[in-house]
A and B are shown apart, each in its own frame.
Chain A
């Protein structure tokens, strides 16, 4: 297992450099001059443009810019955006928001997904159909529709949740977190349901019943425990998605997370910011994937990696 992990980590280094190169090239290839766009509607003097272009090495050829960037990166310097603000500091202030949002969503996915899946499996046909109906409806609704609906109904009209922003602590994350979780929640419920149904018919379940254990105990101690393996792996992979995929939710609820930063910076061709944020997202994806692969081995001892 140790050697496997090391091998994966070494692979990751190459993937990381490959990905930064691709993203850097993609930003670089966008048409238009980011410096000229910087002043918006107001004119900018040639000398200002020139000094900014020089400051950000924009006159160098592409590979030189990339090498300069990587060189600084290896020295721990993520650079600054075109307004001179540190990328590291901007990411530092925004990551906690996105992580809070993702964890809140993950919590909803886990709790509601597992509960709904289990109920659907054990409570008979009518309940099963009702839950199936709702989870399919939710999966098919675009997330921004849900977001605006939730915001208007529960925020503006009912006043239960804050409409936007993060000023009210964890309360601010409940509504956006729930909406971000809906898609994954439905998937978890489906996974848990089929898995529970399968395990209910397993030999060990019959044995447990035969021992005289109560239905509840059989369900919680034996069936559910074994049914969670697919759900846990799904949740772990989903964490990466929740962080990277929160752009829409962050926009609607005005949460100053990295999704917003990424969106805005891409439009403004802020190369240093885009590459910094995107590369970190790639790293998170790689790490959660590795974690999931290792988790398989822990949850199911039959799977080995040597």
Chain B
């Protein structure tokens, strides 16, 4: 797919959903079969490498559950191979004001135990995720719904277990009332890592027991129980599934703890491909092409890596210092030499796969220009003393940070550039929260809507705010707010891009590169398909 065409088509789809108040009918997802669809003829079983999930029920656990959840559960909507939003379990998702959304689900779909999937199943699932004491990881994403605060008081126990903003209209329809208009609602509920999944009656009595063998509404059902965290998760095709039938009949998700071992097993052919979040070790990226030749896919996802600055620190408060450091970084060489050409140089904070695309908002400040960088630093008053680059140890970021440190030494003439590692991610986060001592390596993996990274990292008080050096800008906040109220997707995209432009104007962070999902696969598979959120399990085919 070309980048450009996918952008346009997403825009059209979102446009259709939010502006026309039209019923978005399920298009290609269910009944028709696309080219190359030989579902009935094929079968067989495959294995996928994964890191240990903490839960299998979608919305409950960490991101390592993504592929398993996608196998067991069908979402209301998802992204297709061209990153267009397509409806799956939903018949239509409509609104007239971006605030009250009516979700109609397809009739006749069943859970793996035969129970019918109804509007009530969805409301039960979403309420479970929204109930604070359940402590589901997706809880926060439901804060946009009315009544969320009653289930999540900052002190004391919640007074109710049901969101007042969710209403069952009839067995096939429910209505969602948001706190404020949100043009990004449909994009936000698409895919396998949301809180928008149904729960069967059997789940509600004992969630912990249910989680060992979730009864979902998806293309695969559990094949046995998942008793121990290190056990493989085995699933088999669900015969009565009404959506696109998967092309393999069984999947074994093998659990690994080391990315290096995943790599070795892929080389040996003892596992067929690596899952969405079973990332290959970054130290191996330079050799992936030679080890797997054609059997590698570099799939664009939403993941931007940047160099953050302690904005409150006097040494970095001059924007020209930050821009000089950014221009001293040779992004092309880093991505081609260290990451084997599998990652792409960043041109802004929005990743290329973002809906509406990623305009080149960083401009010349993301281009390698040692002469300009040096001149800019000189104008800003030069540099004296050491510079400490902070990062997390043991995650393979040393090589590229060494490269950045060398660039700064050579191109800016700062002799004493040191790498300072935090031993764990937890400690790193608290170090950044307390205030970094120098430029720090970090990034944001998120959702296809531009609102995700903008509100998640670049707004005051947002969860990722420490990782942007506590950047905030009232101008940007108001642009994002206007984008949420936008009635057409062109308008929304334009406003989001203006918000990004504002960020790049203030230059709180230096975008470095965009991470792609790197899939290495066994030669008994056809090239696996993936979208902006990861693997498309129902498209995996044996040769």
Contact = CB atoms under 8 A, between A and B. Distances in A.
A50 B154 contact: yes
A165 B228 CA distance: 14
B255 A155 contact: no
A52 B141 CA distance: 17
A260 B158 CA distance: 38
A155 B265 CA distance: 9
A146 B444 CA distance: 37
Interface stretch (B179-187, B198-206, B419-427): B419-427
Interface stretch (A99-107, A125-133, A229-237, A262-270): A262-270
B55 A51 contact: no
B135 A254 contact: no
A17 B227 CA distance: 31
Given A55-B135, A152-B264, A155-B268, A165 B427 contact: no
Nearest to A166: B230
Contacts of B257: 251, 254, 256, 260, 264
Nearest to A162: B270
- Which range holds the interface residue count of chain A? 35 or more
A212 interface: no
B426 A39 contact: no
Which one of A31, A42, A251 has the highest number of Cβ atoms from chain B below 10 Å of its Cβ?
Answer: A42
Nearest to A157: B268
Interface string A240-256: 00000000000111101
B430 A256 contact: no
A33 interface: yes
A215 interface: no
A140 interface: no
A90 B136 CA distance: 21
Contacts of A45: 132, 139-140, 143, 152
Interface in B397-453: 424-431, 444-446
B47 to A, nearest CB: 10
Interface string B19-33: 000000000000000
B133 interface: yes
A164 B270 contact: yes
A89 B444 CA distance: 34
A36 interface: yes
A89 B136 CA distance: 22
Contacts of B261: 163-164, 251-254
Contacts of B229: 85, 90, 93
B54 A42 contact: no
Contacts of A43: 140, 456, 462-464
Given A155-B268, A252-B258, A254-B261, A44 B426 contact: no
Interface string B153-196: 11100100000000000000000000000000000000000000
Given A44-B140, A94-B230, A32 B424 contact: yes
Contact of A48 (B61, B140, B208): B140
A83 interface: yes
A46 interface: yes
B16 interface: no
B388 interface: no
Given A32-B430, A252-B260, A93 B143 contact: no
B137 interface: yes
B89 to A, nearest CB: 23
A301 interface: no
Interface in A152-206: 152, 155-156, 159, 162-165
A90 B228 contact: yes
Contacts of A84: 208
Nearest to B211: A84
Contacts of A48: 132, 135-137, 139-140, 152
Contacts of A254: 256-258, 261, 265
Nearest to A159: B268
B493 interface: no
A189 B54 CA distance: 44
Interface in B98-136: 132-133, 135-136
> Looking at chain B, what size class is its interface with the partner chain?
35 or more
A48 B260 CA distance: 34
Given A83-B55, A152-B264, A254-B261, A30 B136 contact: no
Interface in B302-347: none
Contacts of A50: 132, 154-155
Nearest to A52: B135
B254 interface: yes
Contacts of A85: 54, 229
A165 B54 CA distance: 19
A85 B127 CA distance: 23
Contact of B61 (A83, A93, A156, A159): A83
A208 to B, nearest CB: 52
A43 B139 CA distance: 9
A279 interface: no
Nearest to A268: B426
A269 B428 CA distance: 13
Chain B CB within 10 A, most for which of A41, A152, A156 = A41
A214 interface: no
A155 B269 CA distance: 11
Nearest to A84: B208
B9 interface: no
Contact of B63 (A40, A90, A152, A156): A40
B63 A151 contact: no
A37 interface: yes
Contact of B264 (A33, A39, A94, A164): A164
Interface of A: 30-34, 36-48, 50-52, 55, 83-85, 89-90, 93-94, 151-152, 155-156, 159, 162-165, 251-254, 256, 260, 264, 267-269
Given A84-B208, A254-B256, 11 more contacts: A44-B137, A47-B132, A47-B154, A47-B158, A52-B135, A89-B228, A162-B270, A164-B264, A254-B261, A256-B228, A268-B426
28 contacts: A30-B427, A36-B426, A37-B424, A40-B63, A41-B63, A42-B463, A43-B464, A46-B152, A47-B132, A47-B151, A47-B153, A47-B154, A47-B158, A48-B152, A50-B154, A52-B135, A83-B54, A83-B55, A93-B229, A93-B230, A152-B264, A159-B268, A163-B264, A164-B256, A164-B261, A252-B258, A254-B261, A256-B230
Q: Return the 5 tightest CB-CB contacts between A and B, nearest first.
A: A32-B426, A256-B230, A43-B463, A47-B152, A47-B132
